[in-house]
Amino acid sequence: MQRILITGSSSGFGFLAAQTLTKAGHVVFATMRDPAGRNSEAAARLTESSSQQDGRLHVLDLDVTSDASVEAAVEQANELEGGIDVLVNNAGFGGGGLTETFTPAQFSRMFEVNVFGVQRMNRAVLPAMRQRGSGLLIHISSTMGRIVIPFAGAYTATKFALEGLSETYRYELAPHGIESVIIQPGGFGTDFFGSMLQPEDAARVETYGEAAAMPQQLWSGMGEMIASGQAPDPQIVADAILEVISAEPGARPARMVVDPMTGGEGPKALNQTAAAVQEQLLSGFGMESLLHVAESSEV
């Protein structure tokens, strides 16, 4: 049994992961913004579904953009169950449109959730994990953290940043018995496309002429496919999260592509190439020990 905190549990991958992990017998802290208000229905559904499961589920109020909120939620989790063994950084949102037409403020808003929120969460849980000499960070990235699709520049930038952050943590935390894993989902049947941030600089959009219509054509087409039920079931990602948690420490992959829609061959190939380059690089600097997580007794 692991004590697992999940961010962004009100919908999508986070909601399903909370249910899946509770069913598997784990203690789950399903966190979301405003569980007593706008997300009260999701909170109630999670609480109800967990009542017949082997594990335990606690719904906690958490906003990853707030230091105070993050610290309060982690403290509450510690009081309820004595600690956090696994952190699933799932909270995030996307944006679609011509990259130039997104304002710096919009970029900042997306980075605040998708990247800086992850750093807040990691900083909140890592001191206790390092003291115990064990722990697991799971970062929900995207295949777009490895490949580039036009008209999603802001989102892609956040996921590339998240990939670099997570991999750096993997090396730096290895001597402390802590693993950092990236899960890279492809397209799934969630509300991701329906809730995408749209560019605010409408005047600049118009200066692109006929090309201005291309982002809408791409993302509306993706949204229609999702709505038609043709997209893969997001439960597959929740199951992948459980698979990573269930794996033996030291055997967990640095990255896991989960993309039944396309097969994910491109991101997989890039991951393999990058892993070989990183191994050569770290070995060349005499840091090959950081490629392998230490056992708790070694910390």
Buried b / exposed e across 188-210, counting CB within 10 Å, b at 16+?
Answer: bbbebbeebbebeeeeebeeeee
Does 141 qualify as catalytic in the annotation? yes
Does 268 qualify as catalytic in the annotation? no
Annotated catalytic residue: which of 9, 50, 134, 141?
141
DSSP three-state, residue 178: strand
Does 228 qualify as catalytic in the annotation? no
C-alpha of 256 from chain center: 12
Annotated catalytic residue: which of 10, 50, 134, 142?
10
User: 94 burial class (0-12, 13-18, 19+ CB within 10 angstroms)?
Assistant: buried
Whole-angstrom CA distances from 179 to 176, 205, 218, 251 are 9, 43, 37, 10
Say which amino acid occupies 8. G
User: What does DSSP assign to residue 219?
Assistant: H
DSSP three-state, residue 70: helix
Helices 12-23 & 40-50, crossing angle to 10 degrees?
20
How many Cβ atoms from other residues are within 10 Å of residue 20's Cβ? 22
Annotated catalytic residue: which of 9, 142, 155, 166?
155
Annotated catalytic residue: which of 9, 50, 142, 159?
159
Helices 117-132 & 153-173, crossing angle to 10 degrees?
10
Does 10 qualify as catalytic in the annotation? yes
Q: Which residues are catalytic?
A: 10, 141, 155, 159
